[in-house]
Amino acid sequence: EPEVTQTPSHQVTQMGQEVILRCVPISNHLYFYWYRQILGQKVEFLVSFYNNEISEKSEIFDDQFSVERPDGSNFTLKIRSTKLEDSAMYFCASGTRGGGEQFFGPGTRLTVL
Amino acid sequence: SQQGEEDPQALSIQEGENATMNCSYKTSINNLQWYRQNSGRGLVHLILIRSNEREKHSGRLRVTLDTSKKSSSLLITASRAADTASYFCASITGGGNKLTFGTGTQLKVEL
């Protein structure tokens, strides 16, 4: 069964460094998302992406964040200058239609020291 | 109050019993979805119920939606130890695509 994959599973970085989190969505999906979950807290929406552009973003998704679909399979989240409070589990998701089911990857645990 | 609050926060039952989790929300929804998360793992989509639906079944899962009360419930029948996980409701509102998650219910099914 097709699934969303994410790499790396765990990323440790120093504050101020740039990180790129990678995702391979399910191949026939058209909608792509990033969410994050700080330990012990709710899952929070970051950004949605459709037709090669951002369709919606949250207040969390400020100028330090960017997303890209560099080719037909990958979907990346870049954090330009990481802060301690960026430490969280980051989930990628994809779906076939807007507002429908979303299928999540296993997550990347980002630890900022 | 926030969109999507579940109760109880934690639930412990014996294998074979039914588990019921409730979710309340504040703003009108297009649909409401339930997800499961095993400890430290990704979210698994369980079921989606549209705003014009009142009840939906999938295997041992039964979801109800009461838009007048802005609430939904997830019933897991004949629970198994493998059902131990956190369960989240998440809603889609307006014309958007983002999921707004609730606080989750931690279910523990004991042998």
Q: How far is A35 from chain B (nearest CA, A)?
A: 9
Query: Mutate which of B31, B98, B100 to test chain A, going by most A C-beta atoms within 10 A?
Result: B98
Average pLDDT, chain A: 95
What pLDDT sits at residue B3?
61
CATH of the domain at A56: 2.60.40.10
Interval B81-109: pLDDT, tens: 999 999 999 999 877 889 999 989 999 99
Task: Find out whether B98 and A58 touch, Cβ atoms under 8 Å.
Answer: yes
**For residues A53 and B46, what is the distance between their CA atoms, to the nearest angstrom?**
28
Residue A113 tokens read as 């020291």
What pLDDT sits at residue B2?
46
A43 touches B: beta carbon within 8 Å: yes
Asked if the Cβ–Cβ distance from A106 to B30 is below 8 Å, we say no
Q: What domain count does chain A have?
A: 1
∠A33-A50-B65 over CA atoms, to 5°?
Answer: 60
Q: How far apart are the first and last CA of chain B?
A: 36
pLDDT band at A98 (very low <50, low <70, confident <90, very high): confident
> Out of A91, A98, A103, whose CB is closest to B45?
A103
pLDDT band at B1 (very low <50, low <70, confident <90, very high): very low
Q: How far is B13 from chain A (nearest CA, A)?
A: 22
Interval B2-37: pLDDT, tens: 467 888 999 999 999 999 999 999 888 999 999 999
Q: Residue B67 is which amino acid? A: T
**Residue of chain A whose Cα is closest to the Cα of B92:** A99
**For residues B51 and B67, what is the distance between their CA atoms, to the nearest angstrom?**
7
pLDDT band at A2 (very low <50, low <70, confident <90, very high): confident
Asked if the Cβ–Cβ distance from A106 to B48 is below 8 Å, we say no
Q: How many CA atoms lie within 13 A of A13 on its CB side?
A: 24
B24 touches A: beta carbon within 8 Å: no
Domains of chain B: 5-110 (2.60.40.10)
